Structure formats: C-alpha cells, structure tokens
Chain A
Amino acid sequence: MDQTITKTADTASDTAIALPRQQRFTGLRRFAGNRLAVVGAAIIFFLILIAIFAPLLATNDPIFDQDYSNLLSGPDAVHWMGTDDLGRDIFSRMLYGARISLQAAMIAVGLAFCTGVPIGIASGYFRGFWDEWIVMRVVDALQAFPPLILALALAAALGGGFYNAMVAVGIGFAPAFIRLARGQAMSIRNLDYVMAARSVGVGHMRIMWRYVLPNAMAPLVIQATFAMGSAIIAEAGLSYLGLGAKPEDPSWGSMLHIAQGYLNTNPTLALWPGVAIFAVVLGFNLLGDGIREVFDPKLYR
C-alpha cells in the first residue's frame, strides 16, 4: 500500500531518516492540507480540553448546585446558558457533559476495537472451520440485531446505568470491527512478506502481531474514528430514553430527556445539548474523512 503505513509497520525510524526531505511527513502534510479535517481535529482537541478542565471552567456544580429562586431561567450574567427545571446551571452541566460523551466514546469503541480486532485478525489469518462456522456465524447473528435495539436489550439485561449501557453499545459495535479486521487479514496473509516471514520460521502469533496487524491498521483506525461519533449519538439516545446516564447526571442525552418536557415553554433547553452533540460528532466525522484521505491516496487527487 502506501508509504505511511509501511513506515509505521517496522523500523519506523530508519525509513523515516532514509526518506528524502520532501517525502517525510507526507501523511501529516496531506492531513493539514485538508481544511475540514483540521477543523475536525480542532473540535476534538477542544472537547478533550473541556473534558479535562471542566471542574475549573464550570461556574457551578453540575448536580448539587440547585438555584431554586431561578428555575428554568433564560441566559443571564449569572447563568450563561440559563438554568434547568431544578435550577441547575446549564453551562456547567454542558461542560461536564463533554466528559460523559468522551467517556462513552472511549468505553464503547475501546471495547469493540479491543475485542473485535484480535478476533477478526485471527479469524481471517487462520481461516478454516472456526472462521467460517463459529466466528462469522456469530457475527452474522449479532448483526441481525439493530445495534441500538441490541444495546437497549443488553442494557436492560445488565441492569441499566451508564457503564452497562456503553458496554452494550460496544458489543453492538464489535461485529463491524471483526468483519473489517478479518477482511484485511485475509488479503494480507497471502502477501509476499508474510510468506517470507513464514518461510524463515516466524510463528503465527508473531506474524499476526508484527506483520498483519500494523498493515491492517489504517482502515481500522478510520472505522474507530467514525464509531466514536456513533457511540456519542448512541449514548445520548440511550440517556434520552432514560436507559443510559441517570437523569440527574450531566449527560447531553439526559439533558435532552429533561428538555423534552419543556418543548412548549422553554425550547432553548433542548438547543445546547443538541448543538454540542452535533459539533462533536461532526468533529469525529471530519477527522475520520481526513484520516481516510491520508491513508488512501487514490481518493486524494
């Protein structure tokens, strides 16, 4: 494939030094040349900063500071985005919401990636009975369930709550990673360098780890980036239904859950959380598009 991938594959430092100056950081340069991708990266960077520094930036505690004299107030000097039905400061809740969204994305995608990729790689590398009759059939069965409905049912089975909900979403996402990793491994296992490694007696585990995985990584990373956005929407959706974060938790989805009751009287309540979800998911989608262009020069013309 292209240079950027093989560079990370092995002896990264040697090849990087050996390359002429113009060819170094081509991937990074291509990424920087894509304005939308940079915007996406900036949004995500900003989200991470907010998530880290939420306690410093917030003007109030997101759960316990309840201003009973100021219920459902509009934006003013004290409460920059107004207050909700219990007089909690919406601005502070929005900041803490960044934490929950980021956690949701990392738990769900992390779980799907860390279980799906090894299974997919091994399955595609070895082929045979296990691949055809166990792994693929289970993947088929899992993909018969709409991910969100699977997450709902599993969240109910596991007993609800934020972490269980995100584990459920992660299980729903895993089959996509298995399929993708398997497809990659199936094409890479027949390449000359894998044959060469086999012929000098490198073990299967080592081949998968050192040769197959690094070369299969690019599409998996792209998939993971897009999945982050989907996970954030899934978290918001489940919390909106009341099956994710608890209603008092400052999750953007829970805030929409509260807002649903006030669409007639306080429509702005529904505005901020939605805009935030939209911006963050847009960020991940732009980032994913950008990474795809870096790894796939065919698309980039």
Chain B
Amino acid sequence: MSPLLKRILLVIPTLLLVSMGIFSLLAILPGDPVTAILGLEATPEAALALRAQLGLDDPLYLQYAHWLWGVLHGDLGRSFIDRTPVMDVLMQRLPVTIELAVGSFAVGILIAVPAGIMAAVRPRGIANYVSTLVALFGMSVPHFWLGMMFIILFAVKLGWLPASGYVPFTEDWRGNLAAMCMPMLATGLRESAILMRMVRSSLLEVLNEDYIRTAFSKGLKDWQVVIGHALRNALIPVVTASGLMVSVLLGGLVITESIFGIPGMGKMIVDAIFQRDYVMVQGGVLAAALMVVIVNLVVDVLYTIIDPRIEK
C-alpha cells in the first residue's frame, strides 16, 4: 500500500477513537442532562419519561452509535441551557476562531521566514544573535500575558486600539481588524519564535548541500541561491511542523479569546464549562479535534506532492 493511501486510511481509526473519547467525556462529566433540561423540581415520572425519550436507558454502546449517527448528520445535540442546536452555535463561532488562527499564523510566518533566513545566511552576524534571543523570548513568554501587556500599552495608555469589543468582519472590517490585531499579534509572536528556529536550522542544513555549492560556483548571488534554490527545500520540514503547530495554536487561542472577549470557539468552550453546558463542551472539543486531524492530513498529503522524494 502506498504510504499516502495508508496515511489517509489511518485517519479513520483515529477519528473513531477521538469520537469515542469525546463521547465518554460526556458520560463521565458530572451533571445529568435530564435535571439540566427539566430543572430540579421535575416530577420523577417526567424525568423517567424524558430519560427514555433521550435514550439514556439504552446500553452505552447503543447510545454511542446513536450519538455518532447524529454527529455524522451534523446533529451535535442541543445546549443544556437554552436548547439551541450546538451545530448552529459552532457555525457562528468557528469562523471567528479560524480568522484568528489564520491571522496569528500569518503574523508568525511573516516574522519567522525573513528572520530565519537572515539568521541562517549570516550565522556569525548580529542578525543571528538578535533573532536567536528574540526567539528565546518569544518561546518563553506566556502569550496571554503578552496580550494583557498589549492591552495596557495599546488600549489603556496609548488608546490606539480597543481592548475588547468584537465586530464581525462582514459588518465592519476595520473594526474587526482593530479588535483582532492585538490577539493575532500576541499569539503570532509565539508562533514566529518556534517557526523561526525551524526555518533557521532547516535552512542551515540545506545550505550545506552539494547543489547549493554548485549554485554558488555558477556565480549566482547570495539571495538568488537562498530564494531560488535553498528556501524551497528548507521550507518542506517547516510546512509539516506547522501542521503540528495548529494544535498548539488552537489551544492557545482559547485563552487569547477569553482575554480579549472574542466570541470564538475557545471562549465558547470555556463559558460552557463554567455553565456546565457539557453538550456544548463536547461539540467544541470535537470541532477542535476535527480541525487538527484535517489540517494535519492536508499538510501530509501536500507534503508528498511538494516533495516527490517521500513516495518512493
């Protein structure tokens, strides 16, 4: 079997296990959906009837099959609190988080690639030392604290940007970007630190290869060799690694959204935990895991396309 096909097929057991994990999460979470829906004053008869109606008397594997069937049809259940379908809420929240994630990642790439190139090309230059130190700083600083410092500096002291107050992009794109740029910067700086170290070490390795020496000996200029010959190969491992970083990024956004009051998926999960709205938690966690699996699959597939050496 070709490695690519194997990679794609292996997603199936992973997703099955993920779904089982998420289903059992709801089963072990404290709180009973029946009391959540009917309230504490419900008569025992009504509670029993609802239990039967919700299928809570069925054996666990049947409940799981039921739930999975629903999930596959886009039915993630209804909120314990206000009975809105979880899917509707997710569809509202997900684009916000995706915008934030893409923005943070863009910030990361825009800083990391030029800085990484400079550091790799002149290993004894000042750029290497500065970017190494900045990368260490970026990897060590808690991004949510950086976000708070941004609020103090840009919102409180300078008054340039709003500390919170999200507006949808379609309504007012300026207001949207104004509210989103601090969180994107706070999360993106951390990404850039990790990416920059990767770009640097990967480029350093490639620059030692024979074909680079050949390129130099042809009389090409430094930048021609780096941009035209080295960078393409050097970025391949960086692309795979950035797939893995999606998971860290999504986790980080949970806190970022809470600090800046951005109504994304992360804030939805946190709020739902505090409201004990566990169906909502379940939906959010499922969406996050799905995103990670899909992004990594896409990255791996792209990887074999970009680099034909992989599939021999």
Contact = CB atoms under 8 A, between A and B. Distances in A.
Contacts of A233: 142
A148 B265 CA distance: 13
Most buried by A among B15, B18, B144, B163: B144
Interface string B130-153: 000000110111101110110110
Given A137-B17, A260-B148, A144 B156 contact: no
Interface in A258-281: 259-260, 263-264, 267, 270, 273-274, 277-278, 281
B292 A278 contact: no
Nearest to B153: A267
Contact of A146 (B17, B258, B288): B288
A156 interface: yes
Interface string B232-265: 0000000000000001111110110011000000
Interface of A: 36, 133, 137-138, 140-150, 152-154, 156-157, 159, 229, 233, 236-237, 240-243, 256, 259-260, 263-264, 267, 270, 273-274, 277-278, 281-282, 285-286
Contacts of B17: 137-138, 140-141
Contacts, number: 138
A141 B14 contact: yes
A277 B259 contact: no
24 contacts: A137-B10, A140-B17, A141-B14, A141-B21, A144-B292, A145-B18, A145-B247, A146-B254, A146-B292, A148-B254, A150-B285, A152-B254, A156-B281, A236-B144, A237-B142, A240-B255, A241-B270, A243-B273, A260-B259, A263-B151, A263-B156, A267-B152, A278-B140, A278-B145
B29 A256 contact: no
Given A270-B149, A274-B148, 13 more contacts: A133-B13, A138-B17, A144-B15, A145-B18, A146-B288, A241-B254, A263-B148, A263-B156, A263-B163, A270-B145, A281-B141, A281-B142, A285-B139
Contact of B140 (A137, A150, A229): A229
Interface string B268-294: 011001100010010011001100110
Contacts of B151: 263
B142 A278 contact: yes
A155 to B, nearest CB: 8
A216 to B, nearest CB: 22
Contact of B25 (A137, A153, A260, A267): A153
B277 to A, nearest CB: 11
A144 B273 CA distance: 20
Q: Which 3 A-B pairs have the closest CB atoms?
A: A148-B251, A274-B145, A141-B17
B248 A277 contact: no
Contacts of A273: 145
A153 B281 contact: yes
Contact of B142 (A157, A159, A274): A274
B30 interface: yes
Contacts of A150: 285
Interface residues of B, number: 49
A157 B29 contact: yes
A148 B156 contact: no
Nearest to A301: B123
Nearest to A271: B149
B310 interface: no
Q: Is the interface of B mostly helix, strand, loop or mixed?
A: helix
Nearest to A279: B140
Interface of B: 10, 13-15, 17-18, 21, 25, 28-30, 136-137, 139-142, 144-146, 148-149, 151-152, 156, 163, 247-252, 254-255, 258-259, 266, 269-270, 273-274, 278, 281, 284-285, 288-289, 292-293
B14 A270 contact: no
B156 A267 contact: yes
Nearest to B152: A267
Contacts of A270: 145, 148-149, 152
Given A277-B142, A281-B142, A146 B248 contact: yes
B13 A137 contact: yes
Contact of A147 (B15, B136, B139, B251): B251
A242 B274 contact: yes
Contacts of B14: 137, 140-141, 144
Contacts of B136: 36, 282, 285-286
A36 B10 CA distance: 42
Nearest to A145: B289
Contacts of B139: 281, 285
